[in-house]
Amino acid sequence: MIELKPDLLISAASALFALLSAAFALHSARQAKRQADAVLGDIPPSFSVYQRDFEEFTSHATIVIEIVNHNRRPMLIHELALDYREGIIVFEDGKDTASAIISLLRASRNRAHRFDIPLRLAGCGPNMQPEKVGLTFCCSWQSEVPRRPVEFGVRGEFLLDGDRTVYLGYGSTIIEPPKHGW
């Protein structure tokens, strides 16, 4: 049997406490950096997707892509790409019939849109509300496709002003089909 001497136990306990203290200090330093980044406005922008409540009688779901620039520097969005399964039609939420038809025609062509001139969201200074944009779309199911929940995602490609690094932002949600549609 191994005999443990008191000085060996004290050394092992001291090493264990030193290791735990170093881990706690590292965790505290990371949290302090996160808080300092937030105060200085060095927080990455966020991309999110959510579904609005259904209107009374509708055959489609309304989804919103929300982009919020929490960073102090302006954000330049170069591309937005939508990701969803076949058999789903996604089109811009038009307020009149003509714009709805035009958006349906656009939706049938491609799922990604590259901006000729980047979409710019202003930066957010201290004690200011972040700049945000909400893009509203409608989602419909083709007649031969079963009306069941579908995953919907968005990928954004953007730059922060003064930076040459291309960043990617992602958001996704599950879209529920309306139960009382046509």
Instruction: Give the model confidence (pLDDT) of 33-70 as tens digits.
Output: 877 777 776 888 999 999 988 776 777 888 888 999 98
CATH of the domain spanning 41-175, picked from 3.40.50.80, 3.40.50.2000, 2.60.40.1230, 1.25.40.10:
2.60.40.1230
Taking the domains of the chain in order of start, what are their residue ranges? 1-40, 41-175
Per-residue pLDDT of the chain (182 residues; tens, 9 = 90+): 667 777 888 888 899 999 999 999 899 888 888 777 777 768 889 999 999 887 767 778 888 889 999 898 999 988 888 888 888 888 777 665 555 555 655 655 567 777 777 888 898 877 788 888 888 888 888 888 788 899 999 999 999 988 899 999 999 999 988 876 55
Q: What is the DSSP string of the chain?
A: -PPPPHHHHHHHHHHHHHHHHHHHHHHHHHHHHHHHHHHHT-PPPEEEEEEPPPPSS-SSEEEEEEEEE-SSS-EEEEEEEEE--TTEEEEE--SSHHHHHHHHHHHHH-SEEEEEEEEEE----TT-PPEEEEEEEEEEE-TTS----EEEEEEEEEEETT----EEEEEEEEEPPPSS--
